[in-house]
Amino acid sequence: MRHRMVRESGGRPQEWRGTPEAGRHATDARERADRLAQVEEFTRRTLAAADFPVYGVAAGLDRAGDALAAFETNGGKLDWVEVQSGDWSSTAGPYVTVRTYRPGAELCVVLPELEDVVEDERDRVYDHLGIDEGDGPGRVRALREWITVDGEPCAVEVHEDRPVLWPGTPEDGEPGPVWAGRLRVDGLTVTVCGRGVAPGGLELGRIGDVERYLHGRSELLHELSSRHAERVPVEERELPPVHGLEAHRALIGQTIAESAAIEAQVRAGRPPRLPRGLRGEACAVRWESAVRQQMRLASETREEALAAVTSMVNHLERLARQTHWVIGTPEGAAAVEEVVRYTVFASEVASLSAQRAWEQLWRDRSGGGPDGWEAQGLAEQLWLSAWEQWRTRAG
């Protein structure tokens, strides 16, 4: 089980609100403090049971940002521990994470590629700071560097990636490179990731006292939790007006783009990672806009509208996965219009038999648990056949 620092964008994306009522704010603050104290004590007990040394930054940058970043357990036993040092709130850094794996962990734990370690760091910047440094590689270099560990230089292969400029970055303010490297130290595997500091400028060492890192984690969790609590759920916001079916179309476009991106990553042998531009704030707004428009146009309650939009999204996402023609073709665009119009108006669309087959499939699958699709093989074939008949008639 992985225990990672709470990301600010966890749950529904939210926005800043005005000062809340003093009484409620005080109660919420006490509850957050109690929860964080429980988390700190649980983490302290877990790390106390570690049977391997944990490494962190010993010199090379400001230690004021020392904190436990994450750890993972398997059957109650620690697989790895990650600590962070430096300025987490700046894209310029300096900021470094150090992850120490228990001896032999690589035999049962999949070590992430260094490119994915860099992407994890970019995810952190996106989640905590709202800055998207771009999806995919920028200008990549493979380097051979040296990192000092307990006073001794250790060779390390480094994957360095200079991100593309994000919108709004000053022309003279290009973000610095993010790099990741992996080395072996006394039989342990250690992965290091940094921004704003060169590998050769760091010295790693064993952490003797974890209290500094536990307190740092609690302070950081408190800050992120406070920010999260002072934001308004997207359901309570005033959103830009939408017209006609454009909110439904925008949500479908996002869904199909998500499916295509994940499929491309799987084909390339990479762990699925939803592009940052397709999650977070913009995603929540698209969903909420579509639900509100569904309520207006279909005269449905919020619960009914949410169920209808959810079914619509899954319909086209599943269709895109199971066929080759939904993405980037005229007939795919026509299918989107058919599904949207049926969802909103229950129209007598040309693909009515496919729409009704999906309704039955979705009802059966929703009650079938994680293996629902596999249990509905015949129903799914009937649904796909109905779409093929529509394509034949439409062609």
* pLDDT of 13: 29
* pLDDT of 231: 65
* pLDDT of 27: 53
- pLDDT lower than 50: segments of the chain: 5-26, 166-173, 369-370
* pLDDT of 254: 85
Cα atoms in the Cβ-side hemisphere of radius 13 Å centred on 189:
15
* pLDDT of 1: 56
* pLDDT of 21: 36
Work out the burial of residue 106: count CB atoms within 10 Å of its CB; fewer than 13 is exposed, 13-18 middle, 19 or more buried.
Answer: exposed
Other CB atoms within 10 A of residue 33 CB: 13
* pLDDT of 136: 61
* pLDDT of 325: 92
Distance CA 6, CA 163 (A): 25
For residue 152, the cross-strand partners are 149
* pLDDT of 248: 95
Distance CA 201, CA 189 (A): 20
Nearest 5°: the CA angle 56, 190, 69 is 50
Max Cα distance, the chain (Å): 75
- Return the residue matching tokens 């783009």: 257
Distance CA 54, CA 101 (A): 8
- Of the candidates 118, 155, 141, 139, the one whose C-alpha atom is nearest the C-alpha of residue 270 is 118
Signed CA dihedral, 11, 261, 246, 324: sign only: negative
* pLDDT of 12: 28
131: helix, strand or coil: coil
Q: Say which DSSP state 186 is in.
A: T
**What is the pTM for the complete model shown?**
0.70
